[in-house]
Structure 1
Amino acid sequence: MIMYKGIYTLIGQELSMFSRKLEAQLRYQGIAYQWQYKTAASSQEIDTRAGTRFVPLLNTPDGWLISDTISIGPFLNERFYYQPVIPETPNQRSACFVLEDFFNHWLPRHALHSRWCYPDNVTVAGTNFGMNLLLDKSINSSTTDAEKQQISGVGKMLYDSFGAAACVVQGAGVDQKDAMKKDFGVLMDLLANHLAQYTFLLGGRACLADFALAGALKGHFLLDPEPRSWLSSHLPLFENYLANLWQEAAKDAIWLSGDEIPLTLEPLMDYMQRTYQKFATFSIAAAKANEKFFDLDVGYGVFTARSMKRLEKARLHVQDELRRCHGNSLPINKQGVLDFYLAD
């Protein structure tokens, strides 16, 4: 079955976790697509048309240009309903949106820190960015000596203009190396424990949250040498997880029966509550008070991060979904993991 015939265009960059998140969904749903790299030359024109400087953007065959993966994901789920990626049952549907929000807004701390706080990694990332930005080529393409010279300084340029400051915004600068590595290890252990028993987060079929996790893996943790080295013995498991996701869903792929959520996700949800949800609560409160920064300790010592208004918008997006599912009475909330979203 083919809906909305034509090729979708993914506008973004291969080192962007959110561009890779969208690519994962396009591949898993079997949607025909092509890349358009957002280059230095095309950036202004794309930003003007889209009304935003953020990637990814999705250009549809019928002429729509859509931004923000939390909108694009449900949009594609509805269009390509015969290959669903959002469960209909309330417990799993709630888990899908809560996990997606967690990966969307907690993993960037680790992604940015591991990319920009280690000089050797900055060099590698810069070369890859240069392939898209300056050469309009895939990172897997070959280069001439002249092209290598052309992109040789991209890492330092991006570090100075974006990378260093982005880490500070997240409270994940160079001074947080020990804390960030410890937290990354805890999180990857929890995910590895689950993925050793299940193909995807909610069983044998992927959901929106899987794409968010896959985006971070494909665009950062499995690509950049620094975080890749941190995965240690878990590396083959995460590579296999991504390989399973990076292809169209099997016809018999299903979520767990009976609207069940794997018990192996409970420790991950405990972690979410004491880290991301605490971080978001403080960030939202600071933003509402017009405070630019806030201090927080999620178990590894105090750090300072910049408040982000976007986290409240994301919380309300999830809240809307949870209220439709009567989330406060669902089994998933036995740990109170939905309370952050359901609060007025």
Structure 2
Amino acid sequence: MASGTIIVHGLTLSYFTGKLEAWLRARGIPYRFEEMDTHAFRRAGRATGVLQMPQVEMPDGSWFTDTTAIMADFEKRFPGPALSPRDPAARFASLLLEDHGDEWLWRPALHYRWSFAEDMTLMSAQIARTMLRDVKLPFWLRRQVILRRQRRVYLAEDGVTKETAPQIEALYLETLDAMEAVLARRPFLMGERPVQADFGFFGSMFRHFSSDPTPAAIMRARAPHVLLWVARLWAAQPGDIEKAALPASVPDDLVPIFARIASDYLPYLAANEAVLAQGDKHVRYSQSGVHWDVPVSPYRAHCLSALRKEYASLDQGARSKIDALLGEGAELLCGPAIPNVEDTPEPRPASRPADRHWRRAAGRKRT
């Protein structure tokens, strides 16, 4: 590796790789992107102990993973425009929006990619040409391998059924509508300057919803200002960002998104945490009359634990503002964290490449 070069290992169609690249560009942090193949994927996994993407290889040989953790660490480590509000309530709101965007839009992003014929045909071919380029099989067979694997893992094993699909699609449409109303008024979600919230929503909106044929057609027709925001955030430069003020409060027009967080996402996180504590492997719950059965996620228990720690650190004035946004949902931020949940990796078979994130792995040397 060239001296002083940060390398981002990932895929050009990867949800979280796109998120991290946009953040590094906005901060003005130089890096080199390297498209993973299966050999590179295993090498990164040996360095961090986690098979996922993106993975960041530092000039000193240490490695980082988990986009949220990388953003938090690099904001302190490297000079550049701040991308986190200084106001405590606005900062917590931005972190909550980032987490919601990261995690709750994951399922619709994967549903649109792997449930629709045009999308699955295109994306399976792209992965066969990139991630599986070092696998010694005919192209058609590589494409079939990835197609069957993705549909099994991200649809059948993640609760996507004929009954749940309308609710998954409604989440995308309602999110588009809420964002369109906001972004028709201002350039970024919370104001004139991007913050964590923007990057949390960007991963799905950039590499999935604005790129894959079916959701992209919906976005162009239904939410043109969201499409503009995707390009604006990808093009954001430090000099332009520094000219704008950080948001000092939480805009009122974000209330529909916070209502969705309070009614759907936080209850799911609490249910997932409870099931994890009981040692079960599946979270079973109902949402608006639709029954869900999804695998338990230690990473999302970590997400809830992290949000609770941030919430507990707020002063009374800031907490009151967040409580007003979330209503009864705020009560779910008051519970205790599961001991050592931050150190519990999400179990993932070594044969399964994952566009997910888990934890920082600084200090682990290259193999």
Give TM-score scaled by structure 2 length: 0.82
Cα deviation for residue 46 of structure 1 reads 2.1
Aligned to 1:41, the other structure's residue is in SS state helix
Shift of 1:262: 0.7
Aligned residue for 1:64?
62
CA apart distance, 1:339: 3.2
- Aligned residue for 2:38, secondary structure, equals coil
**2:115 counterpart residue number:** 117
Q: Deviations over 1:298-344 (max 9, x none)?
A: 22622221221221111112222232333773412213354323322
Q: Does 1:339 align with 2:321?
A: no
Cα distance, 1:83–1:241 mapped onto 2, change above 3 Å: same
The 8 Å contact of residues 74 and 86 in structure 1, kept in 2 or not, is answered as: no
Aligned equivalent of 2:197: 209
- Residue of structure 1 aligned with 2:95, choices 94, 97, 100: 97
When residues 263 and 189 of structure 1 are mapped into structure 2, their CA distance, relative to the original with a 3 A threshold, is same
Q: 1:276 aligns with which of 265, 273, 285?
A: 265
2: CA distance, partners of 1:177 / 1:155: 24
- What's the counterpart of residue 231 of structure 1? 219
Alignment of 1:10-21 (within 5 A): 10-21=8-19
Contact 1:283/1:294 (<8 A) preserved: yes
Query: Structure 1, residues 270-311: CA drift from partner, whole Å, max 9, x if none?
Result: 011112112222222222222222332322622221221221
Structure 1 range deviating more: 115-124 or 127-136:
127-136
**Is the CA contact 1:179–1:300 (under 8 Å) kept in the aligned structure 2?**
no
Q: What's 1:163 paired with? A: 151
Name the SS for the 2:52 alignment partner.
coil
Q: What's the C-alpha RMSD, in Å, of the aligned pairs?
A: 2.3
Query: Matched residues in 1 for 2:129 and 2:289: separation?
Result: 37
Cα deviation for residue 150 of structure 1 reads 5.2
Identity %: 22
Query: Deviation string for 1:219-264 (max 9, x for gaps)?
Result: 11111112213325234322210121112141312223xx211111
Distance 1:211 1:307, change over 3 A: same
- 1:15 deviates by 1.9
Task: Report if the CA contact (8 A) 1:124-1:155 is conserved.
Answer: no
Q: Is the 8 A contact 1:284 1:312 kept in 2?
A: yes
Distance 1:124 1:13, change over 3 A: same
**1:252 matched to 2:243:** yes
Are the structure 2 counterparts of residues 150 and 218 from structure 1 closer, same or farther at C-alpha, using a change threshold of 3 Å?
A: farther
- Map Cα deviations across residues 167-205 of structure 1 (whole Å, 9 max, x no partner): 234322455332222222112111111111121121011
Asked if the contact 2:164/2:291 (under 8 Å) is kept, the reply is no
| CA distance 1:311–1:252, shift in 2 (3 Å) | same
Deviation of 1:101 (Å): 1.0
Q: Check the 8 A contact 1:168/1:305 in 2, yes or no.
A: no
Gaps of 5+ in 2: 337-367
Look up the match of 1:323: 312
Secondary structure in 2 matching 1:133: coil
How far apart are residue 102 of structure 1 and its match? Answer: 0.6
Unpaired runs of 5+ residues, structure 1, are: 137-148
Partner of 2:350: none
Match of 2:179 in 1: 191
Corresponding residue SS for 1:112:
helix
CA distance in 2, matches of 1:172, 1:216: 17
**Structure 1 residue 46 and structure 2 residue 44: aligned?**
yes
| Equivalent pair of 2:11/2:17 in contact (CA under 8 Å) | yes
SS at match of 2:155: helix
- 2:311–2:319 contact (8 Å) kept in structure 1: no
Question: Corresponding residue for 1:297?
Answer: 286
The match for 2:276 is 287
**1:221 equivalent among 209, 225, 237:** 209
Quote the Cα distance in structure 2 between the aligned partners of 1:34 and 1:338.
41
Question: How many pairs does the alignment contain?
Answer: 327
- Indicate if the aligned counterparts of 1:164 and 1:173 stay in contact, CA closer than 8 A: no
Distance 1:26 1:151, change over 3 A: farther
1:115, CA displacement in angstroms?
A: 1.1
How far does the alpha carbon of each residue in 1:149-175 deviate from its partner, in whole angstroms, 9 at most, with x for none? 954444431232233222234322455
Query: 2:94, 2:195 within 8 Å by CA — same for their partners in 1?
Result: yes
**How far apart in 1 are the matches of 2:162 and 2:34?**
33
The answer to whether the 8 A contact 2:99-2:303 is kept is yes
In structure 2, the CA distance between the partners of 1:340 and 1:154, relative to structure 1 (3 Å rule), is farther
